[in-house]
Structure formats: C-alpha cells, structure tokens
C-alpha cells in the first residue's frame, strides 16, 4: 500500500490517513483504497446500483489516472463507495474528454467507525508500461473536502496533472 498525502490547503479533518494500491492484471487492473479515521464524520455514498455515473468526484470518491508511458493521452477512473463508477479518456491535459470503453468494473466497499476499504476490479484495455496516479476525495459531514494523492503539483489540488502519476506499472 502507498501512503497518499493530504493537499496542503486542506484541513486534517476526520480522516487521518489514506493508503492505496494498484496492480496491472492481464485484463485491466485491481485497486484498493483505505481510509483511517472517524468515518461517521464523513459522507460515504450509500450502496446503489452498480452503473456508470458522472460527477462522482463531488463527494467521497477514489480515482485512478492511467497514462501509457511516453504518451499524452490518459484514462481516468472514478470509483464511488456506492458501487457506481465513471471512466473517461483524455487526449491530453483536460482535453478531448469522452467516456472510456470499459468491459466491467466491480467495486466492493466496507466500513466501520474507524476505517473504510474500497476494492475495485477493472476490466479494460490498459496498456503498460504506464504512469499511474491514485487519488481520494473525502467529503466531511460539514461539506468540506480533503484531497489526497501520491503527489501534487504546486497550487490548488489538480488530479489531472502528470505530476500526480508517481507509480510506474508493468505486467
């Protein structure tokens, strides 16, 4: 598991640590995200029908950015504790956004008062070697948000920046 860092502009809030991992598989990837802290003081989207849905990042959500090494195009996955998901392809930094083709995404999430674990299995064409980012957005019960990532570029939290993609994955 890789520790994610809290963006400097965010208050510590109820979640004290976030860790994540991702592994390339023959058919896509598998990922796991863990929150540690006072989960009841956060917004955890309730279980819902597993389906593609936009704007998941507006509340507690986990993200994977996957960019083939040496390329400018990348894919973004948004994974909600509810079981809903989104997948987008971009030609370059925030340009050419469109729904990405995905064969299947399965999300399992469990939580108690002290932690949350989300596991995802993604079946999609994900070329390797790739540089990958793992991110988390955590919404507090009062509406404030925490932004967590492997790394951040200077300035506001920007998950689309190549500076976030700190992992190199191969099959």
Per-residue pLDDT of 14-27, as tens digits, reads 999 999 999 999 99
The CATH topology of domain 2-130 is Immunoglobulin-like (2.60.40)
Give the Cα separation of 35 and 38 in Å (integer): 9
pTM metric for this prediction: 0.96
Give the Cα separation of 121 and 84 in Å (integer): 13
- Looking at the chain, the whole-number percentage of residues with pLDDT higher than 90 is 98
Query: Tokens representing 146?
Result: 């925490």
- Looking at the predicted structure, is the pLDDT value of residue 12 above 90? no
39: left (phi over 0), alpha (psi -120 to 50) or beta: alpha
């Amino acid at each position: 598991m890789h520790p994610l860092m809290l963006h400097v502009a965010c208050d510590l809030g109820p979640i004290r640590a976030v860790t994540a991992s991702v592994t390339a598989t023959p058919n896509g990837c598998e990922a796991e995200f863990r929150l540690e802290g006072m989960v009841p003081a956060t917004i955890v989207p309730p279980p819902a029908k597993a389906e593609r849905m936009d704007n998941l990042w507006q509340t507690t959500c986990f993200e994977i950015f996957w960019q083939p090494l040496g390329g400018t195009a990348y894919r973004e996955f948004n994974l909600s504790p509810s079981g809903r998901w989104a997948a987008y392809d971009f030609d370059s930094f925030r340009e050419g956004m469109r729904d990405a083709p995905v064969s299947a995404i399965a999300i399992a999430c469990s939580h108690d008062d002290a932690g949350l674990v989300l596991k995802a299995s993604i079946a999609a064409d994900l070329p390797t070697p790739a540089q990958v980012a793992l991110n988390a957005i955590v919404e507090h019960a009062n509406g404030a948000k925490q932004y967590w990532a492997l790394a951040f570029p200077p300035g506001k939290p920007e998950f689309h920046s190549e500076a976030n993609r700190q992992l190199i994955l191969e099959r």
